[in-house]
Chain A
Amino acid sequence: MRGLLKFITCGSVDDGKSTLIGHILYASKLLYTDQEQALLLDSKVGSRGGEIDYSLLLDGLMAEREQGITIDVAYRYFTTEHRSFIVADTPGHEEYTRNMAVGASFADLAVILIDATQGVLVQTRRHARICSLMGIRHFVFAINKMDLVDYDVTRFHEIEAQIRDLKESLHLKYVQLIPVSATVGDNITEKSPYTLWYEGPTLLQFLETVDVEEHMEETGFYMPVQRVCRPDLTFRGFQGQIEAGEIRIGDSIRVLPSGEEAHVSSLYIGDKAVESAEKGRPVTICLDREMDVSRGCVLVKNCDLKVASGCRATILWMDDEPFYQGKSFFVKLGTKLIPGVITQVHHTVDVNTGDPVHKETLSKNEIAECSISFVSSIVFDEFAVHKTMGELILIDRVTNMTSACGVVTAVTDEQERHILINREMRARMNIQKAVIVELPVDDLTLSLKEVREVERILAMHGRHTYLYQPKHKDPVAEIVRHLHHAGIVVLVANRYEMDLSEIAQVVPEGAYIKDLLATVSPEPEAIAEEILRITENRDTHFH
């Protein structure tokens, strides 16, 4: 008997996902009798006028039943003679893409339904892309509703060609096509008499026999430390799950990020002392010497993980609230939780074509390539090399929402850190551009009261400001330089007709606005309006 297979079903709305799974459960006599009764009862008041509506098996939330759609991922469990399965049935509506991604991150294989009358749709590409992004390597494309195209082999080949393109553009590893009809039951659990031109397995046969663990081995051993076990002064063990490789008593291991080495002195799987343990096991590892190890450290053997403070990642934005520069996050990666920011959104990805789209903001369900910086160095790697060490989520520090998930595409070096906190970054976090505006204060032009009014208007519009009134002995250039690097809008009220031209020497070109009144009338409202225009950060959404 093969081990557990976790798979996901996805596809566009009304492609018949829930019906397909319902059919497998029903046809395989895997329904318990009372569920079957509940199903018949529900069908009587359901949308299909008394016929059994298999989708009612899975759409478990009241809102889903009312609207006749799947909103959230549902998990179902079944076992055949050959294998145990967990299937995540996921929503097809674009609005609920993030719930679909939840199912994809859980699964080893994706069954993507395609309506034979429609062919490959935008949503098909979106789902395949997200499944691939989340690390799924095995894909089954079930060409559904074959009965509605008279089991036409030519139509099947047309769709096959579309999928071949999709496979190439998304670099999908293993792809299987099966012509089916979920409502009629063709090639689901039994071979269809109408598709004699198809010689492959039925869907269930394929799921029962596919090996998803083959060729999945990563090099070396690593275990992110979940917690330190210290019941008394004599025992100190490091607990976690082995994510790759194998460990034995006596093995020399390294602790990252410190790089210190030690030998394994004892080893437990759960509460049993063992000689060795392999990938997937929950273990407690004791070392032969005292070391500084805490949650978030990683124990490794023959495994080249990186220690760095930044990465490039492909992320899926999942928050209803859009991303804007200046949001701060907790990044969870492995067992490490660390503050971090998205320093740059390089581009978003067109779900249909995969082409980059140049924009710096992100809305729900958008995929983007971005740079992320952590507050200090952590242990991680590229997703393609060491999967678990390349998965991350971003948690909004204000709302605690899981705002995004992503996979590391590149480990970036220390240089990113210098970019992180500079004038521009601080200004972005203040959601503005940093400028210095010099305003003459005298009887003819502006009063100090009016300059204060300008500042008040700016503040009301969310600008972070500082009103500076230089005095004769002030090191003006130095003060302004510091204020500017703090990323704020500086109003310099020049009360004594001082020559402040040295400011231009210490700030970038364009940041020092000396003669705003040359183009703007000397009234607080007009001045404030112009400054608001100049300092607006167009990369940013306002709320």
Chain B
Amino acid sequence: MHHLSHLDKLEAEAIYIIREVAAECERPVMLYSIGKDSSVMLHLALKAFYPEKPPFPFLHIDTTWKFHEMIEFRDHVADSYGITMLTYTNMDGVARGINPFDHGAAYTDIMKTQALKQALDKYEFTAAFGGGRRDEEKSRAKERIFSFRNSAHAWDPKNQRPEMWKLFNTRIHKGESIRVFPLSNWTEADIWQYIRRENIEIVPLYFAKERPVVERDGNIIMVDDDRMKLLVGEKVEMRKVRFRTLGCYPLTGGVYSDADTLDAIVEETLSALESERTSRVIDHEETGSMERRKKEGYF
């Protein structure tokens, strides 16, 4: 009998986790960020229940600052795969004109963290799948696959439930919830190799293409619409860039690249010298910033 490959094992583990949640949790939801990890999660969810459709909705937190191509892709996915796609925006934040240029960390808190909490409360979801991976950040490396949140959505890193074998404890009190990370044990390289092997659809922004960009604080920012105000001395250039992670366009740095096929992306990723979160502007602040945000309810 031959052994399963590395990717086969990761796939089996994720499907097992997704099925456990569907079987044991009252109101699950799969968070859908439109990025590559979400594409992989959706693909795994479709496999896990086949021929049934995933027995839970998908939820996108729309900050109104996502790349246009991401929103198009989201709507295409919602139409093509027979799934339920919910979207939620913190309208109070919109009314107050909260934006990533002027409000920095407060923007992330109001339009992402608060919006997510509001959405989870609104629909009374008891379990939410997220695409987080342990290789992304040091506090994430310490988080359980089934990560418990109190009624204020806060994570207590010093008192995590023990997680033994595959025996996940999904029991919670009313008002509490669980974040579930089926991709915990995947690395960025695994994600890309799996996308290639399974031929999974991803947002075109991952592929290198001539795009209008400016360089700001060492990041390559794409000018995705006219809400982006240029600073003195900044000039929009058409450059061949691609994105290794996707989020709100003003907060997402691209990389100069010629990789316009999956093979080329995988090649580039495997030899990458910089890990992917450097292209996420918000994480640079200081060591421990992610853990602090998660204690406050960030996904």
Contact = CB atoms under 8 A, between A and B. Distances in A.
Interface of A: 3-4, 32-35, 38, 41-42, 57-63, 65, 71-77, 79, 84, 86, 98-99, 101-102, 105-106, 134, 213, 217, 226-227, 229-231, 235, 237, 239-241, 246, 268, 270-271, 278-282, 284, 295, 318, 330, 332-333, 335, 337, 388, 391-393, 395, 400-402, 405
B161 interface: yes
B172 interface: yes
Given A280-B8, A395-B169, A231 B52 contact: yes
- Interface of A, secondary structure class, is mixed
Nearest to A6: B185
A135 to B, nearest CB: 8
B158 A391 contact: no
Contact of A98 (B15, B162, B274): B162
A246 B274 contact: no
A102 B163 contact: yes
B3 A281 contact: no
B172 A400 contact: yes
Contacts of A33: 273-274
A77 B185 contact: yes
B19 A271 contact: no
8 contacts: A4-B9, A61-B139, A62-B291, A63-B157, A72-B158, A101-B162, A229-B50, A405-B167
A34 B47 contact: no
Given A235-B51, A392-B167, A393-B164, 20 more contacts: A59-B138, A60-B138, A62-B291, A74-B141, A75-B184, A79-B189, A226-B20, A231-B52, A237-B51, A270-B15, A278-B1, A279-B1, A282-B47, A295-B23, A318-B162, A332-B169, A335-B23, A388-B165, A393-B167, A402-B162
Contact of A34 (B53, B162, B173, B274): B274
Contacts of B137: 60
B141 A402 contact: no
A93 to B, nearest CB: 13
Given A34-B275, A280-B12, A282-B16, A402 B5 contact: no
B216 interface: no
B4 A332 contact: no
A77 B161 CA distance: 22
B262 interface: no
Nearest to A64: B142
A246 B11 contact: no
A57 B142 CA distance: 12
Interface in B108-156: 134-135, 137-142, 144
Nearest to A320: B159
A76 B138 CA distance: 9
Contacts of B187: 77, 79
Contacts of B12: 241, 280-282
A402 B159 CA distance: 12
B139 A60 contact: yes
B261 interface: no
A456 B185 CA distance: 57
Contacts of A41: 287
B161 A270 contact: no
Contact of A401 (B138, B141, B161, B277): B161
A330 B170 CA distance: 11
B48 interface: yes
Contacts of A332: 167, 169
Contact of B157 (A72, A98, A106, A281): A72
Interface in B23-57: 23-24, 46-53
B87 interface: no
Nearest to B22: A227
Nearest to A33: B273
A75 B47 contact: no
A282 B164 contact: no
A521 to B, nearest CB: 48
A72 B163 CA distance: 12
Interface of B: 1-6, 8-9, 11-12, 15-16, 19-20, 22-24, 46-53, 134-135, 137-142, 144, 157-158, 160-167, 169, 171-173, 184-185, 187, 189, 272-275, 277-278, 287-288, 291-292
A61 B144 CA distance: 13
Nearest to A226: B19
Q: Which 4 A-B pairs have the closest CB atoms?
A: A60-B138, A270-B47, A32-B275, A271-B50
A233 to B, nearest CB: 13
B49 A391 contact: no
Contact of A330 (B140, B171, B172): B171
A484 B173 CA distance: 35
Contacts of A330: 171
A223 to B, nearest CB: 11
Contacts of A271: 46-47, 50-51
A454 B108 CA distance: 62
A364 to B, nearest CB: 11
A63 B287 contact: no
A229 B162 contact: no
Contacts of B5: 3
Nearest to B187: A77
Contact of A72 (B160, B273, B278, B288): B160
A333 B274 CA distance: 42
A402 to B, nearest CB: 5
Contact of B171 (A229, A230, A395): A395
A381 to B, nearest CB: 15
Nearest to B23: A227
A98 B164 CA distance: 10
B77 to A, nearest CB: 17
A158 B142 CA distance: 36
A231 B51 contact: yes
A393 B12 CA distance: 22
B164 A402 contact: yes
A391 B164 contact: yes
Contacts of A230: 52
B16 A226 contact: yes
A96 to B, nearest CB: 10
Contacts of A102: 144, 162-164
A325 B83 CA distance: 48
A84 B6 contact: yes
Contact of B142 (A38, A61, A395, A401): A61
Given A60-B142, A241-B12, A282-B12, A75 B164 contact: no
Given A61-B157, A72-B157, A246-B1, A400 B23 contact: no
Contacts of A134: 164-165
Contact of A75 (B1, B9, B51, B134): B134
Contact of A99 (B6, B9, B162): B162
A86 B185 contact: yes
Contacts of A63: 157-158
Contacts of A38: 287
A105 B164 contact: yes
Contacts of B8: 280-281
A77 B190 CA distance: 11
